[in-house]
Structure 1
């Protein structure tokens, strides 16, 4: 697929049974490359329990299941990988433990030098955008600038976080990011998530990567 792919991020708090149904509906809407199970406040036990139920649904949908920060919960739930953004040392340990059989991603770096240093550990992607900040309608200017810079210069794939409306997907895709992350916009109350995913893919289809000569 020669254009950015969709990277879903769950809300920080959710009912697991409800999320399972929403994910099943999401996959009927079209292509999803990855789903990050994002529950930063959960204990390892609770996160592992949720992931054990959600990971098979994500994998059956054809996407990679990534657990946020918790390598133990990721490993025991059968997830495809883990996202580690706590420190460079934690990231190195995750790469050593999970690679090459599973995915390791990172993000949250503040400086360009840090982004390059963290990517040099051998991660599968670097994520631009703050997961723990309230989302605005538009993607953050810094996220767009970082993704554009990275996509132009580096081979390690990057993920860029959109705002909380679907209209921002085009702006993010235009950076050349390999993946566009959608968080709040996917889980709005009284929203048909299947339609959201279909519309997101329609927008991404309009932003093919430049042909390589």
Structure 2
């Protein structure tokens, strides 16, 4: 009996991190335009530190632009604000922080985790119930692994584990490399907002790069298979 071929994995999707949010009105308008132009699965809202009430109101000001576009709204840190702000989840740094926050967020909210220095921590996060793991973000000193090391970690995770993996990209080229390595999502942020062509052009460009990298990967797999 012939074995059923495994369907090709879908193309990776974009995960967009905002600049630190101080003044949400202009960003909300810009996000509505961006999310209409590119395939963005989720938006990571990075909040400037201030009092909780102000941070909640800033998230609420951004929520319609994000959620009405069909994207999930995650808050960077601050799991205690998620329900009150109407967010879809939180992105947390480190296994211990994630484990502390899980009871208040699960099962209704998304819990993503980064800051995973070792393979063991990554596996523990997956087993504990993380909805995705992020590889490649800078540490507290701004240091991050090489592109090759991040790609290797994504490939390892993709081949062995069920929860999605996210690659943190600081350029279009990195986004392409991580898509090729097996990332389910690619987190983009500062380089998109800083692009001289404007964030919309940059986001469309990197989204196309993901699709092209995925198509090449599928084509290569078919040729080899």
TM-score for both structures, normalised by structure 2? 0.82
**How many angstroms apart in 1 are the aligned matches of 2:183 and 2:50?**
30
Write the deviation string for residues 116-160 of structure 1: whole angstroms up to 9, x where unpaired.
Answer: 112211111011122566599x97443222212111211111110
- Superposed displacement of residue 12, structure 1: 3.1
Distance 2:175 2:46 in 1: 20
Q: Check if 1:166 corresponds to 2:165.
A: no
Kindly indicate whether the alpha-carbon contact (under 8 Å) linking 1:139 and 1:162 is maintained by their aligned counterparts in 2: no
Normalised TM-score (structure 1): 0.86
Q: Alpha-carbon deviation of 1:30?
A: 1.8
Please list every run of 5 or more consecutive structure 2 residues that lacks an aligned counterpart in the other structure: 1-8
Tell me the alpha carbon deviations over residues 50-70 of structure 1, each in whole angstroms, 9 at most, x when there is no partner.
Answer: 111112211011100001111
What do the CA deviations read for 1:163-188 (whole angstroms, capped 9, x no partner)?
1x323221111110100110112211
Higher relative contact order (CA 8 A, sep 6+): 1
Matches within 5 A, 1:20-59: 20-39=28-47, 41-59=49-67
Distance 1:6 1:45, change over 3 A: same
Q: Considering only CA atoms, is the larger Rg found in Structure 1 or Structure 2?
A: 2
By percentage of residues, which structure has more helix? 2
Displacement after TM superposition at 1:32 (Å):
0.3
| CA distances 1:25-48 after superposition (whole Å, capped 9, x unpaired) | 211212100000123644433321
Structure 1's unaligned 5+ residue stretches are: none
Deviation for aligned residue 1:13: 4.9
SS in 1 for 2:66: helix
Correspondence for 2:162 among 141, 144, 155: 155
1:128–1:143 CA contact under 8 A, matched in 2: yes
RMSD: 2.6
Residues matched between the structures, number = 210
Equivalent residue, structure 1, for 2:192: 186
